[in-house]
Amino acid sequence: MQIDTSAAHVPHQPKPFYRHLYFHVLVAIVAGALLGHFWPHIGESMKPLGDGFIKLVKMIISPVIFLTIVTGLAGMGSLKGVGSVAGKAFAYFFFFSTLALIVGLIVANVIQPGSGMNIDPASLDANSVAGYASKAHDSSLVGFVLDVIPTTFTSAFVDGNILQVLFISIIFGVALILVGEKGKPVVAILEAASHAVFRVVDILMKAAPIGAFGAFAFTIGKYGIASIINLAALVGTFYLTSALFVIVILGTVCMMNGFSIFRLMAYLKAELLLVLGTSSSESALPSLMEKMEKAGCARPVVGLVVPTGYSFNLDGTNIYMTLAALFIAQATNIDLSLSDQILLLLVAMLSSKGAAGVTGAGFITLAATLSVVPTVPVAGIAIILGVDRFMSECRSLTNFIGNAVATVVVSRWEGKLDTERLHAVLGGQEPGDAEPFEDLTPAPAGLRLGEKSAD
C-alpha cells in the first residue's frame, strides 16, 4: 500500500494579520487615543495599565540581560572575542551618536523653529522644572561612572539599573571564560534557564496591548492633542529630522551592510508599536534581544550590543538634545556663537551617555546639558515641558531602531551574522520556520545557540 506523504509537503500557512501582536497593539493605541480624546478623565485613569505593563517588563529585563550576556561571552571562549565585539560596538555608538548631535544642530540652525517666539527668560517658571534640574545636577560624569558599580552583586538586579546589570554580567561572563572547563556546568544551567526566561517574556508580551492602551489613553487624556499646536514647529521639526536620520543615514548604513531599513522596521513592527504606545524603548528591550537572535545575530553580539546601546547609542535623544537646546535659545532671543554651539555639542556628548530608555530621561539629560552651558537658561526647558511627552515617543522609536541596526551591523563586522537567515526573516518568513542560527564559536556546554528546547 502506498502511503500518502503529501501532507509533509504542505507549505506553512502564515497567521492571519488579526492574530499578530502588532495588530492587537495598533488597535489598542487607536482605542486609547479615542478614549483619551473624548473622555479625558477616564483616559487619565487608565495610567495604571501602562505603568503596570512597564513594571512587568522591567521585572524581566535584568535576568534577560544577565543570562544572554553571560552565556554569550562563555560561548566565545576567549577574551579576545569579547574585546573585539565591545570595541566595534563602542566605535559605532560614538560615531553615530555624535552624528545625531550634529544633525540636530544643523537642522535647528537651518529651520530655526524657535525664532519669533520672543519669550523673556525672566518670565519663565523655574519651579516647574526644578525636579528635572535637580536630577540633572546629580548626573555628573563622576557620579555616572560610580553609579555603574553596584553596592552589592545582587543590588544591581534589585534596583534594575541596566548599566549595573551589564557590568556584573560582563565580569561574570569573563570569569567563566577564565575558569574554563570547571565553568561548563554553570553555563549549562544558565543556558537552560535562559529558555525559561524567554518563555516568560513571551507570556508577558501577551499583555502588551493592555499596556499600550492604558499608556496612550493617559497621554492623550492628560495632555491633549491640542497642547502641541503652539509648539508644532518644534515637534514637527523633531519628527521630520528623526525620520530623515532613520531613513537616510541609518538606511544607508543598512544598504551598505546588505539589508533594508524598511524590512527591518517591518520585522520589528510589533515592538515599534509597543514603544510608540508606552513612550519607552525599554518596554521592548527583551523582545528586541530575542528577535535579533532569531534574525541571525549571534547571541554574544546581541547580549553586548543591545543593553549597552540602550545607554550609549541614543540617536533620538541626541537629536532632541541639540535641537531643543537651540530652540530654547532662539525662543528667548539668545544668540549662540559657533564656539557656544561647539561647547553645547561636547557637553551633550558626555551628558547623553547613560541616559536610560525610559520616559523623561531625555528631558533630564537636556537639563544636565544646559546646566553646564551657562548661555542658555535651564529654566528655558519650561517652554517645551508641555510637549515633551509627545516628543518622547519619537525619541524612543529612533533610539530603538538605532540599536536594532547597530546589532545587525556589529554582528556582520564580527563575521557572526547568518545573512541567509536574516534575509529570510526580513523577507517575511516566520522566525520559527527558518533554520536555527549556529554561533561561529562552539558553546562550551549545554544547548547550542538556537537549539530548541524539548517542550
What's the CA gap between 155 and 243, in Å, rounded?
38
pTM of the model: 0.74
Question: Could you say which DSSP state residue 78 is in?
Answer: S
pLDDT-derived band at 362 (thresholds 50, 70, 90) equals low
Give CA–CA dist 186/197, Å, rounded. 16
pLDDT band at 446 (very low <50, low <70, confident <90, very high): very low
User: Residue 417: beta bridge partners?
Assistant: 297
At residue 126, the pLDDT reads 53
Q: Cα 359 to the chain's mean position, in Å? A: 11
Given a cut of 80, is residue 168 above it in pLDDT?
yes
Measured CA distances, 177 to 68, 76, 89, 165 (Å): 15, 8, 20, 18
Instruction: Using the structure block, give the residue that is written with the C-alpha cell 516566520.
Output: 430
Provide the grid cell at 256.
551598505
pLDDT confidence of residue 358: 43
Percent composition of the chain: helix, strand, coil (DSSP 3-state, to 5): 75, 0, 25
Mean pLDDT over 355-373 rounds to 63
- Of residues 437 and 113, which shows the higher confidence score? 113
Q: What angle do CA 195, 196, 200 make, to 5 degrees?
A: 115
Please say if the pLDDT value at position 356 is more than 50.
Answer: no
For residue 297, give the 3-state DSSP assignment: strand
pLDDT over 80 (residue 287): yes
Closest CA to 313 of 282, 347, 353: 353
Mean pLDDT calculated for residue range 413-426: 91
Return the higher-pLDDT residue of 450 and 63: 63
Looking at residue 126, what DSSP letter applies?
A: G
- Picking from 61, 64, 78, the residue whose alpha carbon sits closest to that of residue 176 is 78
Confidence of residue 437 (pLDDT cuts 50, 70, 90): very low
| 362 vs 67, higher pLDDT | 67
Question: Which set of grid coordinates corresponds to residue 163?
Answer: 548599566
Burial bucket for residue 261 (CB in 10 Å: 0-12, 13-18, 19+): buried
- CA 204, CA 196: separation in Å to the nearest integer? 13
CA end-to-end span of the chain: 34
Query: What's the Cα-to-Cα distance from 307 to each of 42, 166, 197, rounded to whole Å?
Result: 36, 7, 16
Residue 99 and residue 273: Cα distance in Å, rounded? Answer: 26
For residues 65 and 252, the answer to whether their CB atoms sit within 8 Å is no
Is residue 224 within 8 A of residue 45, CB to CB? The reply is no
* Cα distance between residue 41 and residue 244, in whole Å: 36
The pLDDT value given to residue 253: 95
CA angle, corner 398, sides to 309 and 28, nearest 5?
115
Q: Give the pLDDT band (50/70/90) at residue 438.
A: very low
Predicted local confidence at residue 397, as pLDDT = 92
DSSP 218-257: HHHHHH-GGGGSTTHHHHHHHHHHHHHIIIIIIHHHHHHT
| Residue 367 grid coordinates | 537639563
The DSSP letter of residue 417 is B
Q: Is 384 exposed, middle or buried (0-12, 13-18, 19+ CB in 10 A)?
A: buried
- Is 371 within 8 Å of 112 (Cβ atoms)? no
In DSSP terms, which residues pair with 297 in a beta bridge? 417
pLDDT attached to residue 112 = 87
Q: Could you give the maximum distance between any two Cα atoms of the chain, in Å?
A: 93
Q: Which domains does the chain have, with CATH numbers?
A: 17-426 (1.10.3860.10)
